[in-house]
């Protein structure tokens, strides 16, 4: 162990400032009267620097102070472990971490790159969105910054910006996955894990249970679109298909192939779970009926690889994802217009069609297990989140059973 006096202290570099009048915080290492400065990734104003050293510092500044303490402690430990100290040896040892762990942004980018290699286009997009949000909140954040206090402060910031707890939860789960990978790579201490009881609990939010009454669905099925309006006709047809065909979502509709059809059924694996549940994939079976067959007859592509003309066999995962997203956007646009004409009180989206399928079945006596299998859920709790609330009349009828002596 090195016995020579070495000082390691984080100080503001007042020689230069950012456009926001913030000074970068540098790790200053002093040895035999010589000094070297190393970036910490943090920058603060003069007032913020004074607050950092106060006893009641909170939120983002408290996270920075904790990080500063860790940097100073680790720098001194590394310096004293060197047999013969030199600034070059200190740099090589102290900064000997994979480049992807130099910042929170680089951690996300590494994971996104891996996800894209697996052609998981939707997941990659979700992680990119989460990364962008954390960058806006703390542009220079590093893994050591991620503490329960940091996460609670981020949640408060998100809610103040009008974001929902559901959105916060989605971004936090992405961050948790990044940290779990860093722990596996031994670049984040398990003892500093910020999630869990007594630390930060990721909110689940409460999904709005949007489903239509059967009378409203009847109005939609009886609606006569303008035969000259291609998009109105197509949007109505595929909304009906989603509702009738086990609440199938648009990504799965787009990937249906002719080989998935038999005389009586349509059978397929959900795109969402093909990778996540490869050992025990759930195959969904749709019972064909006259209405479903009519839609297939009118909108299918007879000589195509896929049943419908939404994506192409030559599309990669990201191109297919973009096409499906656009298809959903157009469908929802026209269905909202139809809903306005029919004076329905909620937006009639493909999401509503899927929820309506499950809720109408439940209101007519189907078990949650049956609905779960129809939707392709691996967990009953997921199905329960899809089920809308019962109306007053249904509740009244159910309560009669309590006195049905």
pLDDT of residue 181: 85
Q: Flag the least confident range among 46-55, 292-301, 306-315, 366-375.
A: 366-375
Q: Which of 401, 356, 349 is nearest to 375 (CA)?
A: 356
User: How far is Cα 242 from Cα 253, in angstroms, rounded to an integer?
Assistant: 8
Domain residue spans of the chain: 6-96, 100-192, 214-401
Distance CA 367, CA 346 (A): 26
Using alpha carbons only, give the angle 205, 335, 316 rounded to the nearest 5 degrees: 75
pLDDT in tens, 102-144: 678 888 988 888 888 777 788 888 899 999 999 999 988 888 8
pTM for the whole thing? 0.57
Query: What are the tokens at 251?
Result: 């990504």
**Confidence band (pLDDT; 50, 70, 90) for 38?**
confident
The class (CATH top level) of 214-401 is: mainly alpha
Tell me how far apart the alpha carbons of residues 133 and 229 are, in angstroms, rounded to a whole number.
39
Per-residue pLDDT tens digits for 281-324: 677 888 888 999 999 999 998 877 899 999 998 888 889 889 99
Which one, of 108, 160, 166, lies nearest residue 134 by Cα?
A: 108
Strand stretches in 212-293, DSSP E: 265-269, 283-287
Its CATH architecture, for the domain 100-192, is: Orthogonal Bundle (1.10)
Phi, psi (5° rounding) for residue 109? -60, -40
Neighbours of 304 (CB within 10 A): 14
Q: With beta carbons less than 8 A apart as the criterion, state whether 137 and 171 touch.
A: no
Task: Tell me the mean pLDDT in the region 243-249.
Answer: 87
Distance of alpha carbon 46 from alpha carbon 398, whole angstroms = 66
Q: Which of 174-178, 262-266, 319-323, 388-392 has the lowest mean pLDDT?
A: 388-392
């Amino acid at each position: 162990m090195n016995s020579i006096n070495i000082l390691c202290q984080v100080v503001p570099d007042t020689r230069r400032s950012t456009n926001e009048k913030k000074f970068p915080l540098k790790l200053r290492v002093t040895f035999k009267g010589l000094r070297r400065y190393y970036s910490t990734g943090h920058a603060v104003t003069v007032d913020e620097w004074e607050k950092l050293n106060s006893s009641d510092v909170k939120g983002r500044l408290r996270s920075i102070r904790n990080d500063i303490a860790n940097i100073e402690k680790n720098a001194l430990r590394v310096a004293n472990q060197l047999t013969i100290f030199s600034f070059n040896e200190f740099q090589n040892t102290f900064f000997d971490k994979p480049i992807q762990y130099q910042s929170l942004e680089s951690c996300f980018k590494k994971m996104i790159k891996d996800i894209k290699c697996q052609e998981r286009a939707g997941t990659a997009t979700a992680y990119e969105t989460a990364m962008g949000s954390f960058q806006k909140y703390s542009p220079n954040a590093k893994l050591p910054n991620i503490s329960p206090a940091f996460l609670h402060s981020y949640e408060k910031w998100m809610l103040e910006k009008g974001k929902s707890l559901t959105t916060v939860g989605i971004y936090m789960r992405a961050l948790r996955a990044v940290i779990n990978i860093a722990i596996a790579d031994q670049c984040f201490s398990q003892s500093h894990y910020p999630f869990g009881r007594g630390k930060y609990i990721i909110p689940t939010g409460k999904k709005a249970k949007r489903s239509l009454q059967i009378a409203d669905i009847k109005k939609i099925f009886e609606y006569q679109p303008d035969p000259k309006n291609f998009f109105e006709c197509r949007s109505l047809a595929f909304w009906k298909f989603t509702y009738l065909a086990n609440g199938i979502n648009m990504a799965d509709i787009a990937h249906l192939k002719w080989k998935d059809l038999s005389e009586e059924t349509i059978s397929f694996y959900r795109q969402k779970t093909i990778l996540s549940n490869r050992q025990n994939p759930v195959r969904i079976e749709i019972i064909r009926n006259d209405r479903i067959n009519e839609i297939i007859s009118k909108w299918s592509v007879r000589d195509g690889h896929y049943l419908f003309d939404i994506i192409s066999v030559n599309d990669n995962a990201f191109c297919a994802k973009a096409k499906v997203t656009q298809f959903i956007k157009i469908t929802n646009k026209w269905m909202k217009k139809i809903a306005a004409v029919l004076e329905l009180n909620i937006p009639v989206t493909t999401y509503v069609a899927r929820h309506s399928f499950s809720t109408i079945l439940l209101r007519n006596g189907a078990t949650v297990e049956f609905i779960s299998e129809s939707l392709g859920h691996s967990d009953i709790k997921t199905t329960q989140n899809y089920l809308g609330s019962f109306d007053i009349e249904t509740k009244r009828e159910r309560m009669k059973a309590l006195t049905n002596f």
